[in-house]
Amino acid sequence: MKIDESPKILLVSDFTINNMAGYLNNDDDFPTVKASVSPYGQVIQVLLNDNLDCWQNNPDFVVVWTQPENIINSFRPLLDFHKVDIQKILDDIDEFSKLLINVSRRVKHVFVSTWVLPSYYKIFKTLDMKNEIGVSNVLMRMNIRLLDNLADIQNICMLNAQRWIEVAGVSSFNPKLWYTAKIAFGNEVFKEAAKDIKNVIRGFLGMAKKLIILDLDDTLWGGIVGDDGWENIKLGGHDPIGEAYVDFQRALKSLTNRGILLGMVSKNDEKIALEAITKHPEMILKLEDFVGWKINWEDKAKNILELVSELNLGLQSVVFIDDNPYERARVSEALPEVFVPEWPQDKMLYKSALLSLRCFEISAISDEDIMRTKLYVVERQRGELKEKIGSIDEWLKTLAVKVEVEVLNNLNLPRTVQLLNKTNQMNLSTRRMTEAELIDWARQEQRKVWIIRASDKFGDLGLVGIVSIEVNNNIGCITDFILSCRAMGRKIEEIMVLTTANYARTLKLDKIIAKYVPTAKNKPCLEFWKSSGFKYEESEAFFEWDLQDDYPSVNHVEVIYV
């Protein structure tokens, strides 16, 4: 699936799910999708038989949304308050799980919604949560069993339908729609589900937001620090607003544990603002929680642009939070790629507003995600060193960059796929693939995939790059050329090219080529290739190196081929 194609989604359900297809298809937010509906009430047949018409357009994603009493027959008697055999129910769930796992081999991702029931089944409140006889009790066990069965399948994603029910409130279940058209839920539920699914797909496509840029006065704390002094800003204490600011900061800090970066852009005196952060005893966010800041009296849009550029991120990765509607409007207008959410006036709603943003979706969490803020802080220190030292070569010498090149294997596969699917800027072709697809692609004899790890004197950058080549007719075609923005600009790009060139020479190939596939975000990649020394066919966005000539070696970087 390419990033600019509309993903195809097949909805498989035992109730009428056309309304959700409508919401998905009518949503213009990126990416637009093409949702279709499988034949009504034929869940098992559809999951078993990929020759059915509904599979013929090769959907990228499948949503399986079933009603527990329909799909797990042994559960049904419990709704009539008969005794049920729990083990039989769990066995039936195991069988259903096998079908889902089977489907996961056919498509990129399977979304499975958890099972929910209308609240009227909870008529006997005291019995509802009792083992063996309580409807809610058994339903919870069923969902846990399903989750456990599918936990190790990378491309199956369970979605929490209970959340949609809670958001939809009293209109979650509409018996009229059920009796007249077998629509199991109210439209508010489908709306929420469609939004969640689109959000998860955006995450898969590497479109999740990565950086929250925050204003300070009346955003991170109450009051104007320049006027009031850091001792008098509203933060913590026995005060509802002060507590709300502390909670908001805590929520921001929690997001850094999921790899979200924080930055500051504020119209303030830098010294005074930073003093508040370092000295205020109830400040939850510390200076080391921020990957960068621009605190001055200049235009915030200009400051955001500069900060994002320093961090090597795209503007599309940014969320800007500011209490001031004027500043929000200014940034929205000047930088339309930046997501500027409407922000509540009521400070007590800050935390819930933050945690309701649907833009940070990631499908997995790696050690590097958890460490990301630290990695960027170290990167800032590198930058400071760069400013002190004049030339790139001198800087690299001081950095003591070490690069390890290793072939794709089962151990590095998960992180490789994560990098492949989320890197936008230094990305030659922006292919998005599952683990199974990448392994399958790399298995062919004429193809080779290397992964790149890097470190320097400030620390380990981890797995930062992917480069792959496919050989045809004595020509090596560089298919993937991906480098994390954290590692750009320290000659790792040249080492990646050199790796493919050396490999191509051992195979006695004539030349290597690279075809640049433009997206809205990968211009930095084009810029690198233009400076790579390869011959550039501009009309075809095509780069070529004749292997009669050696590709230049790279100084001041230690390379280890593992």
Partner 1 sequence: MIDREKLINTLYKAIDEVNSILEGDKICKSMDTSLYGDLGVLDSLGLINLLAAIEEQIEKDFGITLLLLDDIDLSEDTNDFCTVSTLFEYIFLRLSSQEG
Least distance to partner 1, CB of residue 401, Å: 53
- Prior bond of 175 cis (ω within 30°): no
What does each C-alpha distance from 88 to 85, 341, 419 come to in angstroms?
Answer: 5, 48, 42
Least distance to partner 1, CB of residue 201, Å: 19
Least distance to partner 1, CB of residue 22, Å: 3
Per DSSP bridges, beta strands 109-113 and 156-159 are parallel
Q: Name the packing angle between helices 86-104 and 135-150 (round to 10°).
A: 40
Is 109:61 a contact under the CB 8 Å cutoff?
yes
Rounded-to-integer distance, Cα 195 and Cα 205, Å:
15
Least distance to partner 1, CB of residue 288, Å: 45
Closer Cβ to partner 1, 19 or 256, answer by number? 19
Instruction: Give the residues across from 418 on adjacent strands.
Output: none
Closer Cβ to partner 1, 158 or 177, answer by number? 177
| HSE (side-chain half, CA atoms, 13 Å) at 219 | 24
Phi, psi of 523 (to 5 degrees): -60, -40
Closer Cβ to partner 1, 34 or 397, answer by number? 34
Tokens, residue 497: 């090219």
Is 432:205 a contact under the CB 8 Å cutoff?
yes
Rounded-to-integer distance, Cα 64 and Cα 62, Å:
6
Closer Cβ to partner 1, 28 or 387, answer by number? 28
Binding stretches for partner 1 (CB under 8 A): 16, 18-19, 21-23, 25-26, 171, 174, 176-177, 180-181, 183, 187, 190
Least distance to partner 1, CB of residue 37, Å: 10
Q: Is 264 helix (H, G, I), strand (E, B) or coil?
A: strand
DSSP E strand stretches across 516-556: 535-537, 542-546
Tokens, residue 181: 């058209």
Tokens, residue 525: 């990649």
Q: Tell which residue, 413, 557, 400, has the closest CA to residue 492.
A: 557
What does each C-alpha distance from 22 to 27, 162, 187, 359, 371 come to in angstroms?
Answer: 9, 21, 10, 22, 40
| HSE (side-chain half, CA atoms, 13 Å) at 167 | 16
Least distance to partner 1, CB of residue 173, Å: 13
Closer Cβ to partner 1, 190 or 536, answer by number? 190
Least distance to partner 1, CB of residue 184, Å: 14
Least distance to partner 1, CB of residue 171, Å: 8
Q: Is 484 helix (H, G, I), strand (E, B) or coil?
A: coil
Closer Cβ to partner 1, 22 or 77, answer by number? 22
Q: Tell which residue, 64, 81, 77, 183, has the closest CA to residue 123.
A: 81
Closer Cβ to partner 1, 27 or 470, answer by number? 27
Closer Cβ to partner 1, 35 or 161, answer by number? 35
Closer Cβ to partner 1, 49 or 180, answer by number? 180
Least distance to partner 1, CB of residue 35, Å: 9
Least distance to partner 1, CB of residue 26, Å: 6
Phi, psi of 546 (to 5 degrees): -80, 125
Closer Cβ to partner 1, 63 or 93, answer by number? 63
Phi, psi of 59 (to 5 degrees): -60, 145
Rounded-to-integer distance, Cα 82 and Cα 60, Å:
41
What does each C-alpha distance from 278 to 97, 213, 255, 340, 489 come to in angstroms?
Answer: 52, 18, 20, 27, 32
Closer Cβ to partner 1, 183 or 477, answer by number? 183
Least distance to partner 1, CB of residue 187, Å: 7
| Residue written as token pair 């001198």 | 394
CB atoms within 10 A of CB 373: 21
Least distance to partner 1, CB of residue 27, Å: 9
Least distance to partner 1, CB of residue 46, Å: 19
N residues, the chain: 562
Closer Cβ to partner 1, 197 or 426, answer by number? 197
